Amino acid sequence: MARGIASVNTDKFIAAKGQMARRTNHASIASDDRPCAIPPSSVLLPQSGAIPCNDASAIKPQQTRALREPNAGRDSSNTNCLDHSLPPHPRLTARRFPRKALAMSAAQQTPAPPTATGGAAALRALLARPVPAVMGILNVTPDSFSDGGDFLSPERAREHAARMIADGADIIDIGAESTRPYGAQPVSAAQELLRLRPVLATIAALGTPVSIDSMKAEVVAWALDNGAAIANDVWGLQRDPAMADVVAARGAPVIVMHNRDDADPSIDIVADINAFFERSLAIAARAGIAETNIVLDPGIGFGKTPQQSMITLARLSAFAHFGLPILVGASRKRFISTVSPSEPKQRLGGSIAAHLIAVHNGARIIRAHDVAETAQALQVAHAITTSIEDNR
C-alpha cells in the first residue's frame, strides 16, 4: 500500500516539474529571438552593465570586434547571447557609477594586445636614456618627397630597415601614404594596407619598435594588431574620429602631430600649435589614452611657411609646459632649401643643424632619413655638453 502511494506522489511530482519547465522555457523564448545561456535578470536589468544581445545599436564602435583581437570574449556556441567577459557599456555603467564611468572608458577596460603594451614599455626605456632617440624613416610609397619608390619591394624595405637599425635607429617609422604637404595624392586605406602587408611583420621581427605613420584608424588598427607598436598620426587624433579609440583600446603610444590644411603666414604659429595640442590632448583624455603614452610633434613643414618652421624650432621650449616628450622631424624639409638651395637628398647638413637646435630646445626623439649621421651628431653633441657640465 505504501509502495502504491509513493508511486502516485512521484508521478504528480514529475508532472508538476514538467509543467514548470514548459512555462520557464516559454518565458525565456519570449524575451529574445533565441534562449540565452544567462539568467533572464541580465536582460531585464540593463543598468547592471549588460547589453541585450539583440540590440546592436547600443554597442559603441570601440566595443566591436574591430577593436579587439579576433573572437576575443566571444562564445561561438551561442553568439546571440550576452557575453559577461565584454566591458559594460559606458552609458549604462554611468547610471550606477557616474564617477567611475568618467574616469574609465571602455577602451581602458579592454586588455591591450602584447605588441602595443611592449611599445609603451620600449618608448619609456628610450626616453629614459640621456641621448635622444632616433626614429628611422621607411616610406613604402611611390611618391614620398625624398625617397618615393626607393623601398617598394618587401626585400628592399626590410634591407633598409635592417641597415637603419645597424646605424643606430631606435624606432622604425613605416609610412604607406605620402604625407608631404605639397602634391601628395591621397590613397585609400585598402591601398595603404596593400603596401604594408608584405613588409610589416618581417620588419617588426627585426626586434626594434615599429611605428605606423598613418592618419587612418583602420590602417593603424590593423598595423598595431600585426606587429607595429606605436601610432604616428600626422593629424594629431583630429582627422579620423575613430583614431583615438583605436589607440586607446590597444594601450599603444601615439605621436600627436600639429597640422593645418594651409599655411597662413599671418598667424602666431606657436600659439596655433599650443591650441592644437590642447584639443588633441582633450580628445585623448576622453578616449582613455594615458598621458604617458603621448608624444608631441610640432609638425615641421606641415601647414607652415618655411619661416614658421624655423620659428617653431627656435621656440620649441614653448611646448615644454605640457610635460610630454617632443619629437621633431626636420629631415630634408623644404625650409632648409630656402636658406641653402638644395634638392631633398642634399640637405643632410641642414637637417643635422635643425635637429641639434631641436635637441638643445628640448626634443627627445629625432625622426630622420639619414640615421647613421644623425645618431653620430646626437652622440657627439651629448658628449660635448656633458663634458662641460662635468668640469663646472
Tell me the CATH number at 274. 3.20.20.20
Query: Which of 95-99, 169-173, 209-213, 346-350 is predicted with the least confidence, judged by mean pLDDT?
Result: 95-99
Res 141: pLDDT: 87
Q: Which residue has the higher pLDDT, 72 or 295?
A: 295
Q: 319 and 363 share a domain?
A: yes
Active-site position among 216, 304, 347, 367: 367
Last residue of a domain, one of 63, 85, 108: 108
Highest mean pLDDT of the ranges 44-53, 78-87, 170-179, 332-341: 332-341
232 — pLDDT class (breaks 50, 70, 90): very high
Res 36: pLDDT: 35
Res 272: pLDDT: 99
Rounded Cα gap, residues 298 and 322, in angstroms? 13
Res 210: pLDDT: 98
Query: Which of 145-159, 189-203, 220-234 is predicted with the least confidence, judged by mean pLDDT?
Result: 145-159
Res 250: pLDDT: 97
Q: State pTM to two decimals.
A: 0.71
Question: Residue 191: is its pLDDT beyond 60?
Answer: yes
Total structural domains within the chain: 3
Q: 69 and 146 share a domain?
A: no
- How far CA 330 is from CA of 67, 111, 119, 346, in Å, comes to 33, 36, 24, 14
Res 115: pLDDT: 62
- Catalytic-residue membership of 34: no
33 — pLDDT class (breaks 50, 70, 90): very low
Q: 236 and 359 share a domain?
A: yes
Q: 23 and 35 share a domain?
A: no
Res 153: pLDDT: 84
Q: 45 and 101 share a domain?
A: yes
Long-range pairs for 25-33 at CB < 8 Å and ≥24 separation? Answer: 32/80, 33/80
Res 252: pLDDT: 98
Q: 23 and 80 share a domain?
A: no
Q: 21 and 75 share a domain?
A: no
Eight-state DSSP code of residue 359: H
Q: 93 and 169 share a domain?
A: no
- Catalytic-residue membership of 367: yes
Active-site position among 333, 334, 347, 364: 333
Residue 247's domain spans which residues?
114-390
Q: 197 and 86 share a domain?
A: no
Rounded Cα gap, residues 53 and 75, in angstroms? 12
Question: Residue 60: is its pLDDT beyond 70?
Answer: no
| Across 183-193, average pLDDT | 88
**pLDDT averaged over every residue in the chain:** 78
Q: 38 and 23 share a domain?
A: no
Question: For the chain, how long is the longest CA-to-CA vector?
Answer: 115
Question: Residue 319: is its pLDDT beyond 80?
Answer: yes
Q: Which residue has the higher pLDDT, 263 or 15?
A: 263
Residue percentage of the chain with pLDDT more than 90 = 63
Q: 16 and 90 share a domain?
A: no
Last residue of a domain, one of 75, 91, 108: 108
- How far CA 10 is from CA of 3, 14, 21, in Å, comes to 11, 6, 17
Give buried/exposed letters for 121-151 (b at 16+ CB in 10 A, else e).
Answer: ebbeebeeeebbbbbbbbbbbeebbbbbebb
Last residue of a domain, one of 108, 141, 170: 108
184 — pLDDT class (breaks 50, 70, 90): low
Which helix or strand (DSSP H or E) is residue 128 part of?
helix 114-128
Joined grid coordinates for residue 379 = 652622440
Q: 288 and 345 share a domain?
A: yes
